[in-house]
Amino acid sequence: MRIDIITIFPEMFVGPFTESIIKRAVEKKIVDIHTHNLRDYSTDRHKRVDDYPFAAGAGMVMMVEPVDNCISKLKSEREYDEVIYMSPDGELLNQSMANTMSMLNNIIVLCGHYKGIDERIRKYLITKEISIGDYVLSGGELGAAVLVDSLVRLIPGALGDETSALSDSFQDGLVSPPVYTRPRNYKGWQVPDVLISGNDRLINEWKYEQALARTKERRPEMYEIFKKNENV
Interface contacts to ligand SAH, rule CB under 6 A? 86-89, 111-113, 115-117, 131-133, 135-137, 139-140, 143
The nearest distance, CB 140 to ligand SAH, in angstroms, is 3
The nearest distance, CB 38 to ligand SAH, in angstroms, is 12
User: For residue 138, what are the contacts with CB-CB under 8 A and spacing of at least 6?
Assistant: 113
- Burial environment of residue 24 by CB neighbours within 10 A (0 to 12, 13 to 18, 19 or more): middle
Measured distance CA(165)–CA(160) in Å, rounded: 10
Report the residue number, 87 or 102, with the smaller CB distance to ligand SAH.
87
The nearest distance, CB 62 to ligand SAH, in angstroms, is 7
Q: How far is CA 103 from CA 72, 106, 109, 156, in A?
A: 23, 10, 16, 10
Report the residue number, 66 or 116, with the smaller CB distance to ligand SAH.
116
The nearest distance, CB 129 to ligand SAH, in angstroms, is 9
The residue with its CB nearest to ligand SAH is 112
User: For residue 36, what are the contacts with CB-CB under 8 A and spacing of at least 6?
Assistant: 4, 5, 6, 7, 10, 70, 74
- H/E element holding 14? helix 14-17
How far, in whole angstroms, is CA 182 from its chain's centroid? 32
Report the residue number, 111 or 212, with the smaller CB distance to ligand SAH.
111
The nearest distance, CB 127 to ligand SAH, in angstroms, is 15
CB 194 within 8 A of CB 203: yes
Report the residue number, 60 or 213, with the smaller CB distance to ligand SAH.
60
Measured distance CA(53)–CA(57) in Å, rounded: 7
Residue 152: name the closest of 10, 19, 43, 51 by CA: 19
Give one word for 230, left, alpha or beta, with left for phi > 0 and alpha for psi -120 to 50: alpha
Report the residue number, 76 or 138, with the smaller CB distance to ligand SAH.
138
The nearest distance, CB 59 to ligand SAH, in angstroms, is 7
The nearest distance, CB 216 to ligand SAH, in angstroms, is 28
Report the residue number, 113 or 153, with the smaller CB distance to ligand SAH.
113
User: For residue 231, what are the contacts with CB-CB under 8 A and spacing of at least 6?
Assistant: none
Report the residue number, 94 or 190, with the smaller CB distance to ligand SAH.
94
